[in-house]
Structure 1
Amino acid sequence: MMNPEIFNQTYTNYWKKLNAFSYTMTQDKDLAQNIVQDVFVDLWERKEELNINAIEPYLFRAVKNQVFKHYQNNRFDKTILEDKFEDYIIDHFSSIDPELMDILYTLLDKLPEKRKEVLLMYKFQDMSIDQIAEELGISKQTVKNQISAALKQLREGLKDLTWLLPYVIFYHNF
């Protein structure tokens, strides 16, 4: 159960992040804001019946579901959306659904060891290309090549899984 203060705090804490996430997927400012607004309206209307353990994954999942529902209803070419979704996943490792995180870790494990190390330093430790090159004793160009190859490999792996997204989104009651 959620009281008005908790709801307001949740709204204040997550509105910008969720709006940015929604916009990344839709590239439409008004649509992105409407989707996030709908998620918060739904959250408020269902406050008595919802039992949410972790609010952040719940909210991101709800926004993602709404975006996909919107495009499903409007017969949109989902490949464009899926490409944006893949880019978002790769750019925002830390705020991803636990289910997708598991898939990402599986894909990361398939990377060659050095490539994985470079990508993790770059994405998780926020190290610059210069810092990584210095730490590993390799050229900056090698670091760039490894990052590029790793991201390409992850994108390919995610593309293989995008057929799952509608099922993950629409047939699970999160």
Structure 2
Amino acid sequence: MNIDDFKSLFDQHYEGIKSFLYYKIGDIEIAEDIVQEVFLKLWDKRASIELKTVKSFLFTIANNMAINHLKHRSIVFNFARNEHHNEKVDSPHYELEMKEFKENLERLLAEMPENYRVVFLMNRIDKLTYNEIAERLELSVKAIEKRMSNALSFLREKLKHPI
């Protein structure tokens, strides 16, 4: 792999890997840092990489790095989840309700199985269609539909009302 191949791969896969990491981690800045590390690893291993398998190699590295980051961040996440933001709101009751809602949602998303959470966030936050999600995750549309159904069922059960 030469420098032109590397630049082409970077341009082709950077956004997809960054989004993948964002959905796994939930922090765009960390996702951007990790995607840079992913491409550094690709560059380091460029002599042994085949171009036809590079996409799966990149996503495997990204997934492993995300898992490592999440393991390391578990204590920090619990602290950040309970952190109070000093935003001024007209009603203290409204501020308390919003804080409780946000904490509850973050807790539920953290409890949700990863494969459901990734599909849910890709659809609801990034507004990707099931076809787009299936293509990015290299799964069938039916698998994405099932994961979304399971994610919504999980939230319905935990919230005890329809979404």
Normalised to the residue count of structure 2, the TM-score between the two structures is: 0.53
SS for the counterpart of 1:65 is helix
Distance 1:7 1:37, change over 3 A: same
Other-structure match for 1:58? 57
What's 2:66 paired with? 67
1:152 equivalenced with 2:152 (yes/no):
no
Contact 1:36 1:63 in 2 (8 A): yes
Q: 2:111 corresponds to which residue?
A: 79
> Aligned equivalents of 1:16 and 1:152: distance in 2?
26
Is the alpha carbon distance of 1:16 and 1:84 closer, same or farther for their aligned partners in structure 2, counting shifts above 3 Å? same
Residues 64/81 of structure 1: CA separation in 2 closer, same or farther (3 Å cut): farther
In structure 2, runs of 5+ residues without a counterpart are 78-109, 124-128, 155-163
Compute the displacement of 1:85 (Å). 2.3
How far did residue 46 of structure 1 move?
A: 1.1
The size of the alignment, in residue pairs, is: 112
Partners of 1:79 and 1:150 lie apart in 2 by 15
Give unpaired runs (5+ residues) of structure 1: 109-118, 120-148, 158-174
Counterpart of 1:94 (choices 132, 135, 138) is 135
Shift of residue 52, structure 1, vs aligned partner: 5.1
1:42-57 aligned at under 5 Å gives the runs 42-51=41-50, 53-57=52-56
The CA distance in 1 between the partners of 2:6 and 2:23, in whole Å, is 24
Find runs of 4+ consecutive structure 1 residues off by over 6 angstroms.
154-157
For the residues of structure 2 that align with 1:93 and 1:152, how far apart are their CA atoms?
14
Name the % identity: 17
The answer as to 2:65 corresponding to 1:32 is: no
Structure 1 residue 80: deviation in Å?
5.2
Task: Give the TM-score of the pair, scaled to structure 1.
Answer: 0.50
